[in-house]
Each structure stands twice: as C-alpha cells, then as structure tokens.
Structure 1
Amino acid sequence: MLIGGQRKPVHSIVKAAMLAIWLCSMLFAGPSAAFAHAELEGATPEQNTKYEQSPKEVKLAFNEAIEAKVGSLEVLDDKSRRVTDADPKTSADRKSITLALPKLGEGVYTVSYAIISADGHPVSGSYVFVVGNPPQGVDASAFDPHKALGHEGHGASTELTTNQFIIYAVRSLYYAALLWTAGLMIWPLLARGRGSMLQDIQKKWEPIALRTLLVSVLLYIFVHAREILKGYPSGDYSKLFLETSVGREWIAMLVLALAGFLFVRMHPLARTLWAAAILGVESWSGHAAVFSPKAASILFDWIHLLAASVWAGGLTLLLLLWSKDRKEAGRFAVVFSRAALLSLMLLVLSGVGMTLLFLPSLKYLFYTSWGTLLLIKTGLVVLVLGVGGTLHLKVRKGELPIAVLLRADAALMALIIIVAALFTYISPLPANEPVTYHQMGDKMHVSFRVTPNKAGDNEFTVKVWLPDTVGEAKSVLVRLFSLDRKELGPIDVPVKPFEDTELTDFDGFVKSAYQAKGPFIPFAGRWEAEIRIMDKDDNETVQKVDFRNY
C-alpha cells in the first residue's frame, strides 16, 4: 500500500488507531474519574437534627474536590435572614467547606450551599436544623382567645365586619379613657409648681376620668367576654376569668381601675407609678405579648401607650386651661409643647419598633386590615407632628397657642385613639390555611397536604393512587423550593410510608401513603413542593404544588 508516495505496512496504521482509542478511553473513563461530580457526604450540624446548644460552625464534606473561590455557604434564621456575613473557608484538600457561626438562639435554621465541583459542575442544596425549643411561627391563630378555652370554630379576627361595630365603639371608649386617665395622673409630676389653677383643674377632672375608666373597663370586659363565649355554656365564664391569661389580665385591670381612687389622693410620684402599672397590664394583654422577643415587644408597646398618655393628658389640661385663662394656658403650653414633641417622637419610634417585630416584612402592611389601619394611623401622626410643631414654634416665640390648632390637635388625637382601638383588635398577620391539593387522573391520583402550614413544625402527607395493574408506588420524594429565595437549594422532606386509616379508596386503584413531620418550612413565604413519584417499572411522574404561608 502506498501513501504519499511511501510504502507503509497496514499493521502500523492499525496500531496507531488502537493507541489513539486507548488514550481516549484512559482520558474519559480512567480511574481518575475526571468528570465525576462532587456530592455531599457529610454535614455538621446534621440534616434535620435538633441541638440543645448552638453549633460553632457549619461544615460540609464532599466526595470530590470543589472550587475554592467559587460558590457560597450561608445560614438563614426563621425570617430568612443571614445569621453571619463571614466568608466560608475551604480545606487544604478542597473537599470540605466551613462557615463559623455566632451563638444562635432558639430557632429553626436553614443551611444553603451552592458550590462548583472541580470539573465545573454546579452542586446546590439546603437543609434545616433546630436549636433549642423554638416557639411556633405566629399567624392570626395566635390571637384567638377561644383556643385557651378549648373552643373551635370562631377563628381570629382578621377583617372588619358590621357586626363588630359595638365592640369597636366600646374599645374606642376604653382606650380613650385609659390614655386620658393615665395622662392626667402623670401630669401632676410633670407640671409641679405650675399654679393653683392647674391644680384645681386636676383635682376636679381626675376623679371624673377615673369613673369613666372604671365604667369603660367594665363595658370592655363584658362585651369581650360575651363575644368569646357566644354559644358556649355559662360555666365557661369561670374558666375564662380564672384559667386564661386574658381573663386574669382583665381582673388585674379592674383591680387597678378601682385602686386609682386611692392613688389619686397620694403623692404625684405614686400616681405616676399607678399609671405606669395600668398601662403595663394593657401592654401585657395585647398583641405585644404574642411576639418574640417578648420583653422587647411589651416594652415597645408600654412606651407607646405611655407617650400617648402624656400627650392626651397634657392636651386635655391645655384645652381646659384655655377655656378659663388664656395667659395661664400659654404658660402651661411651654411645658406641654416640649413634652408633646418628645411623646410624639417616642410614639413614632416605638411604633416602628413594634411593626418591625410584628411583621416579617413591610409587605405585610398590605395583606390585612391591620396594615391598612396602621397606614392610616401613620398619616394621622404625621399630621399631628405638623400641628404640634407649629404650636411649639408659636410658644417658643412667646405667642399664645392658636385655638384652631388646639382643636385640630384634639380632633387628630381622637381619630388616632379610634384607629388604635380598631387595629389592636385585628390580627397583624393573615391567617394561614392548611395546604390541601388533590389531582385526579386516568393513570394516577395525587393528594398533598401540609398542616398547619406555617413556619416551623408541620405535618406533610402525600397519597398516591396508581392503577391495580401498576401496583403501589415504588418511592415518593418531596422537595421544597423557596420561590422568594430562588438562590436557595431545595429542602428534602424525608417522607416515609405510613398506615393510612382514612377512607380514601378509589375503585381500580391501589393507594400508597407517605408522611413526615418536622420544621422543613424554616421561614414564611411562597413555596413550591415538588413531588416525584416512581412506579415499580421506574417510570417517574413529577407534580408541583405552589403554596404560601405568613
């Protein structure tokens, strides 16, 4: 055979071809496994594990080397916030990655990783672990007093209805009386030595305010107790007042309202302490008592009420003085304007603090009537700041307060109290509903449930019906994807077969039931459940279910 004018034996060409094939096989399928992908072999803290103490670090070990400078590892808390901004470190052999952690409080935490294996293949995933005994996620159900009595069916108030107007009217009276009375009891300490006229007004109106408060407290308790126990036996009244926190707080409020008639005769400091105590009881029994950290939430609410009381009580005294002696009112206005501006600043700061504690994000302001009313209240407070600032400037110049501005300030105060009475009765958070999904088909039926569907512990149930000719499902896998944090890897829900006693059979089909319990929804938001069903012939079907929780 001649090639290019030279003779080459055929066997030389065959040898060359065989050598090339051998080299290719060594390159692509040799023992070095150059194109194998890194897989997670071990994790500390372990997946789906509860720890009594905070782990010091997260360490993920892979079976192959990973790129040292590409990828991410982060830990999120139950509000999907990063717990540390530290950078992860890769080991010398590049087979593990470590992230140092600060001391973690009780809660559900998500470990999310996205790395690149040495061959350039992306690998990502997420899992959860628990520290201590975290409280359950809060939604509208947390504000339902019926649960404390073992009652079901009423639900928490999330929206305004016409049937609740009488409750809101009583609440408006109650909050107005509470702030007015507490403010009048505080001002003798703030305005000591301000003349006999102011003292005479205080002595006249403090008993009137206390009587109004006592009547409003009685009405408040009667109306709310009647609403809670509507349709239940009268014997539950004793349980409500003696065995629930809300009932005991009502009793404490009534006792303090009666004690006010004794404290009004005491030193101004004692009256101020009484006002602080009765405002503290109201803070302890409101929305603030549900959220954590509880101490911060209650403190913000107490400061909010205290600031509102100083403003309400001082404005009342200024208006009463204005009707008697304009010059005396002008002198008191110097003290009041300073206290009012400080009170309004504290109102704004404490209100912002409570809102940030109550709501996972400011988007929640648009999910319920609570948010709508809070926005209205915010607008009213802005108007008050404008009116109060103008009054303060007039007083600083030595001028008398303008009557129109005083009336406007009083009208805005009344509106704010009414709005506060409304939105303190409504849940700040929307109500979560269990996920109930069912899909019928010729070749398969699928049912998927998540109960109660909130951040934290949930029960996941998957039921699959396959034709009798196919038989039971070989395996079922459930993975959760965060639609709000799409950069996070999927969270595997380790569902296992269980004996289902519900009568949910279909003719011609055989049922397979799987279940898992645990904190696999680590934070509230929008989620997608991916259900992968494998039959005995390894045919896989994928169902996707979108849901959300608050």
Structure 2
Amino acid sequence: MKRMVVCWFILLMLLCAGSPPVFAHASLLATIPQDGQVVQSSPGEIALEFSEPLEEGLIDLKLYDEHGRSIALTGPHLTAGNAARMRAEPPKLPDGTYTAVWSVVSEDGHPVNGSFTFSVGRSASGTIAPVSDGTSALLDRILAVIRYVVEGTLLIAAGLHWISWLGRRRGWPADMRATGGRRLAVWIVIVVGLIAEGLLYLASLPGNALTSVFAKGQWALLGQSPFLVMVGAQLVCMLLAAVPGMVEGWYLVMWALAVGALAFGGHAWGIQPVWLAASFRILHLFGLALWLGALTGLVLAMRRARKSGDAIEWGALRRFFVRLALLASATALLSGAALTVQQTDWAVLWKGQTWSVLLGLKLALTGVMLALAISQTLRWRKHGRLTSPALLRWEWRAGALALLAGVWMSQSAYPLPVTSYAKTFPAADAQVVVKIPRVAPGTQIMTIEFPAPMTEPRQVQVQVSKPDAEINRQPIPAERTGTGRYQADIPFSMYGTWTYRIDAAFHDGTHAAFTDTLFIPGGGETR
C-alpha cells in the first residue's frame, strides 16, 4: 500500500510540473480593433466577440500601453442583446501600440484568457509586455491537482462501497467485504477537496469573483457556473452520506449521485442532445468506479491477508468477481467510445491536439489494464488463486494513470467534428436547397439554390437568431453567384441551437420564406 501512496505522489508531482492551465471552451472570434490593426484615431470602444455566451460579472479586460503601464477603462460589460460580446470604453489614446488582456468565463463555467494588440497612429517597434505574476497559472495547476485527487478518491471510494455491498450479498470472503476502513479519512479528503475546488475556481475567475461572492454577497454567481453547481451537488451528497442510522441503500445512492454529478461539469453542455451526452458520461464514470473499486478491493484484501497470515477463500469470489470486472470494463470502454463518437469524429481525432493525445494515452493504459487482467484471470483459473500481487498493483497504477488522463481530458478542448448541413425546402415550382459546408462556431458560408424552373428572386436575405441568448441579427443580404444561386456569410457567434429565416423577394412582388434550426457544436479547440 505504501507503494501506491508513492505512486499517487509521483503522479501529482508530474501534474504540478507539466500540466498546462485549464483549456478554454469559449473561442475568441473577433476583436475591435483587430489584432495587429493600426487605426488612425483613438477607438471609441474595445470589443471582443466569443463563440459562447459569457457570464455577467465574470469578465475582465485590461489595457496596457507600449511601456507596460495600465490604462483605466470604463467597463467591461456585456453588449445588450448579445451575451457573447464584451466591450469597454477606453480614454482618448495617444499614438502608440496597446495590449488588451482579457479573461472571461464561458457558459459551461470554464475560464479562459488571452490578449491581442493594436496601434493608434503608428506601430511601436519595442513594446513591453504587461507584467504577469503567474498567479493564474499556479491556481490552475493547483486546481487540476485537487480535481485529480478528489475525483480519483471519489470514484474509488464509491466503487469500494458498491463492491462491499455486493460482497455481503454474494457471501464473499471477509477480507474482500471489509472495504469500509478509514471511511472518515476518505470522506474528509473528498469534502475538504471539494471546498478547495470551489474556492480555487472562484479565485481563478475574472472579475474578482471570490470577493464578489463572499464580500459583496453576490451569491447568484455560484449558480452561473456548471462546475460550481457540480461541486455543490457533490458536497450535498457527501453530507447526506454522513447522516448516521440510514438504511444501506441510502448511502449507496448518495455515492452514486456524487459520481454521476461529475458528468455535468463540462463538455456535456456543448453536445446535442445533452441528455444523451450526460448518459454516456454517467455510464463511463460508473464503469470506471466499479473497475477501480474492484481492483482496490482486491489489493486491500491481499494486503489484509498477508498481514493476518490467513488464506483468502478464492473459490467463493472468482466467478462473480471476474464477471463483475468484465461488465465494469466493458461499460467503461463502450460508453467512452460512444461519447467520443458523439462529441467528435474519427477523421479529426489524430491531429495532435492535446485532447487527442490524451485520448490515445488513455486507450493505451486501458489496453495495459486489460492485458494484465486477462493474464491474472487465466492464472487465477489455473491455480485457483491470484498468484501475482505485483501484476495487480501494476494494473491499479495503470488505472490511476488512465484516470489522470481522463481528468486532463475533461479540462482540454476536444476537436470539433467536421460536419456539413443540407436542407431541402419544397416550393411552388421546385425545391430550394440550403447548404453550409462547415457547421461550427464562427462565420460560415450559406449557399441557397433556386433551381429551374423556379423563378429567380430579385433579392434574398438571411436572418439568424438565438432566442435563448436573446440574439437577433439584422438581415444579411445574400450575394448572387450564379443563375439561381446565392451566398451569404452567416455569423454563428456561439455554440447551441440557432434559427435562420430566408426571405426571397421576386420580381412580381411575391415573397417566400424558409425557416429551419440547426445546432452548432461547442467545446472545440481554442482559436
């Protein structure tokens, strides 16, 4: 067991030393002024447009001159009617080069930051970068470490609770059923870790969120982040799991709810339908918890048997345990494959992004676990007992590393699938065809075809809206590119469900309208 503790410690040190800050799920689409632009006069506003809605009160924008000195701004604030656009008003700026440093929180609760430069009148050749103390990056690393500890402990502890319950029902050996030791210490680690997660997350957010909540009493900010809601739900489950004197099913359910809550802290909100994405994640988490819990239970049982000198009655355990481990591993693998296919596609997986590399690492470690499990199962069947505790510990270590890769993946932007859109509308004379080659956040090209014998319209306009974000764009004129063929640049400024309306005006004074909705996937790579 001491080696396991050393293994966990080494993994944490690696995470502290090598993990990058949390990756963003909100992409910066455009800025005013543009990055690198030279404007002739001081701009009236500095604006940034993102691929997702931002959270009011959790945005920040700082401006520095070419000497690294801070310049006071009025704002920032979100643009009325467009929660994906942040703006601030600078004072009158003299000629020179300026650096705007921004930080925001996207709709799914993930913080992101960046910067861009612009010049007024002239471009300075020797600008000085704003001074950064590295506090934000350090908080991100500490938060990643705590998340790994809390989520790993939670999954293993939940799996152990379920294994212990199954063991009592199946008449397993006492060493295998006695997995409830040090429950208080485990509970304290999880509860203290969850509180630390919430505080560190607030401290890492823009807009002085920690001060806003506790000093100014703006408690509504806690409900604006799915991550904080997830942490709060897990805390409630842990507190309820500590209530004494309840029936055994109560505690099993509380641990299950705490594990299931992990599915709602990130990527699931950028995928349609959300319920299916969350279902795959819940199954994946349950499979991992059972798998790691079973491994940990075996390790602890062998450790107790070695200390006591008593032999484990393997015969009452092997057949059902092997089936349970097979079910848990199959659930983890199949649900993992399903959620990967749902949120991206195989064509863009292996392009070197962090998320793809981590996926490959997780698959390799899972393969190692399966190979070790098969080897031990065959030996178990042949000799009637587990003959290699070392192999079992290595399987556990591979599981711990795979869990580390999974936590890192949950903080990394995944590659968006390359999908297209096509819709055919029936019309009086023919069928109107609408196509979008790439369905993703940003400005996309919409092609509208009015094939013969349909009368060609004299004017075509497209209006897009996103009612849940209160976004209603002005009508966009479509440009004629050929006989009966029109194109328009459509700004899908965030992920989610959009509605578009095509209005065609004909020479005889008649009009035709075509309407549809489409879903823009989110959570893709940062731009």
Instruction: Please indicate the TM-score interval, normalised by the length of the shorter structure.
Output: 0.5 to 0.7
Cα distance 1:222–1:146, how it changes in 2: closer, same or farther (>3 A)?
farther
User: 2:103 is matched by which residue type in structure 1?
Assistant: H
Whether the aligned pair in 2 keeps the contact of 1:318 and 1:329 (CA below 8 Å) is: no
- In the other structure, the counterpart of 2:143 is 167
Matches within 5 A, 1:505-544: none
Cα distance 1:303–1:428, how it changes in 2: closer, same or farther (>3 A)?
same
Whether the aligned pair in 1 keeps the contact of 2:443 and 2:489 (CA below 8 Å) is: yes
Whether the aligned pair in 2 keeps the contact of 1:493 and 1:520 (CA below 8 Å) is: no
Q: Deviations over 1:349-407 (max 9, x none)?
A: 00100101111444144252111111111111011110111122222221324112111
Q: Select which of 419, 441, 455 maps to 2:439.
A: 455
Largest Rg, 1 or 2: 1
User: 2:231 is matched by which residue type in structure 1?
Assistant: W
Cα distance 1:233–1:312, how it changes in 2: closer, same or farther (>3 A)?
closer
Q: Select which of 55, 78, 103 maps to 1:154.
A: 103
2: distance between equivalents of 1:318 and 1:226? 40
Whether the aligned pair in 2 keeps the contact of 1:140 and 1:158 (CA below 8 Å) is: yes
Cα distance 1:313–1:148, how it changes in 2: closer, same or farther (>3 A)?
farther
1:299 partnered with 2:275: no
Whether the aligned pair in 2 keeps the contact of 1:368 and 1:430 (CA below 8 Å) is: no
Q: Select which of 153, 156, 159 maps to 1:183.
A: 159
1:274 partnered with 2:254: yes
Q: Deviations over 1:19-51 (max 9, x none)?
A: xxxxxxxxxxxxxxxxxxxxxxxxxxxxxxxxx
User: 1:180 is matched by which residue type in structure 2?
Assistant: I
- In the other structure, the counterpart of 1:358 is 343
1: distance between equivalents of 2:356 and 2:370? 21
Cα distance 1:402–1:479, how it changes in 2: closer, same or farther (>3 A)?
closer
Report the secondary structure of 1:208's partner residue: helix
2: distance between equivalents of 1:493 and 1:191? 73
User: 1:418 is matched by which residue type in structure 2?
Assistant: L
1: distance between equivalents of 2:324 and 2:459? 56
User: 1:353 is matched by which residue type in structure 2?
Assistant: A
User: 2:266 is matched by which residue type in structure 1?
Assistant: G
1:404 partnered with 2:404: no
Q: Deviations over 1:62-113 (max 9, x none)?
A: xxxxxxxxxxxxxxxxxxxxxxxxxxxxxxxxxxxxxxxxxxxxxxxxxxxx
How much does 1:519 deviate?
5.5
- In the other structure, the counterpart of 2:233 is 252
Whether the aligned pair in 1 keeps the contact of 2:263 and 2:282 (CA below 8 Å) is: yes
Percent of residue pairs bearing the same amino acid type: 19
How much does 1:210 deviate?
1.8
User: 2:196 is matched by which residue type in structure 1?
Assistant: L
User: 1:385 is matched by which residue type in structure 2?
Assistant: L
Whether the aligned pair in 2 keeps the contact of 1:187 and 1:313 (CA below 8 Å) is: yes
- In the other structure, the counterpart of 1:328 is 312
Matches within 5 A, 1:326-405: 327-328=311-312, 330-331=314-315, 332=317, 334-366=319-351, 368-397=353-382, 398-405=384-391
1: distance between equivalents of 2:439 and 2:313? 54
1: distance between equivalents of 2:350 and 2:157? 31
User: 2:55 is matched by which residue type in structure 1?
Assistant: K
- In the other structure, the counterpart of 1:425 is 411
Cα distance 1:518–1:182, how it changes in 2: closer, same or farther (>3 A)?
farther
Q: TM-score, normalised by structure 1?
A: 0.51
Report the secondary structure of 1:147's partner residue: strand
How much does 1:148 deviate?
6.1
Cα distance 1:382–1:186, how it changes in 2: closer, same or farther (>3 A)?
same
- In the other structure, the counterpart of 2:427 is none
- In the other structure, the counterpart of 1:309 is 289
1: distance between equivalents of 2:290 and 2:51? 29
- In the other structure, the counterpart of 2:198 is 221
1:194 partnered with 2:172: yes
Cα distance 1:230–1:365, how it changes in 2: closer, same or farther (>3 A)?
farther
2: distance between equivalents of 1:515 and 1:230? 38
2: distance between equivalents of 1:209 and 1:493? 68
Cα distance 1:459–1:297, how it changes in 2: closer, same or farther (>3 A)?
closer
2: distance between equivalents of 1:177 and 1:143? 34
- In the other structure, the counterpart of 1:205 is 182
User: 2:230 is matched by which residue type in structure 1?
Assistant: E
1: distance between equivalents of 2:235 and 2:459? 50
Cα distance 1:230–1:366, how it changes in 2: closer, same or farther (>3 A)?
farther
Whether the aligned pair in 1 keeps the contact of 2:260 and 2:286 (CA below 8 Å) is: no
Cα distance 1:197–1:408, how it changes in 2: closer, same or farther (>3 A)?
closer
Whether the aligned pair in 1 keeps the contact of 2:25 and 2:112 (CA below 8 Å) is: no
Whether the aligned pair in 1 keeps the contact of 2:58 and 2:207 (CA below 8 Å) is: no
Whether the aligned pair in 2 keeps the contact of 1:322 and 1:329 (CA below 8 Å) is: no
> For the aligned residues, what is the CA RMSD?
4.1
1: distance between equivalents of 2:146 and 2:459? 48
How much does 1:299 deviate?
0.8
1: distance between equivalents of 2:149 and 2:399? 13
User: 1:165 is matched by which residue type in structure 2?
Assistant: R
Cα distance 1:400–1:247, how it changes in 2: closer, same or farther (>3 A)?
closer
- Structure 1 range deviating more: 323-332 or 165-174: 323-332
User: 1:194 is matched by which residue type in structure 2?
Assistant: W
User: 1:154 is matched by which residue type in structure 2?
Assistant: S
Cα distance 1:162–1:285, how it changes in 2: closer, same or farther (>3 A)?
closer
Report the secondary structure of 1:235's partner residue: helix
1: distance between equivalents of 2:201 and 2:103? 13
Cα distance 1:231–1:344, how it changes in 2: closer, same or farther (>3 A)?
same
Structure 1 gap ranges (5+): 1-137, 433-452, 461-477, 482-491, 497-513, 525-548
User: 2:234 is matched by which residue type in structure 1?
Assistant: M
1: distance between equivalents of 2:192 and 2:303? 27
- In the other structure, the counterpart of 1:465 is none
Whether the aligned pair in 1 keeps the contact of 2:203 and 2:210 (CA below 8 Å) is: no
Cα distance 1:315–1:144, how it changes in 2: closer, same or farther (>3 A)?
farther
How much does 1:266 deviate?
4.2
Q: TM-score, normalised by structure 2?
A: 0.53
Whether the aligned pair in 1 keeps the contact of 2:226 and 2:266 (CA below 8 Å) is: no
2: distance between equivalents of 1:393 and 1:333? 11
Q: Deviations over 1:429-457 (max 9, x none)?
A: 3699xxxxxxxxxxxxxxxxxxxx97378
1:239 partnered with 2:188: no
1: distance between equivalents of 2:54 and 2:441? 22
How much does 1:320 deviate?
1.1
Cα distance 1:269–1:362, how it changes in 2: closer, same or farther (>3 A)?
farther
2: distance between equivalents of 1:285 and 1:391? 36
Cα distance 1:363–1:244, how it changes in 2: closer, same or farther (>3 A)?
closer
How much does 1:302 deviate?
0.4
Whether the aligned pair in 2 keeps the contact of 1:391 and 1:402 (CA below 8 Å) is: yes
How much does 1:294 deviate?
1.3
User: 2:400 is matched by which residue type in structure 1?
Assistant: A
2: distance between equivalents of 1:336 and 1:139? 40
Cα distance 1:252–1:139, how it changes in 2: closer, same or farther (>3 A)?
closer
Whether the aligned pair in 2 keeps the contact of 1:370 and 1:428 (CA below 8 Å) is: yes
The size of the alignment, in residue pairs, is 323
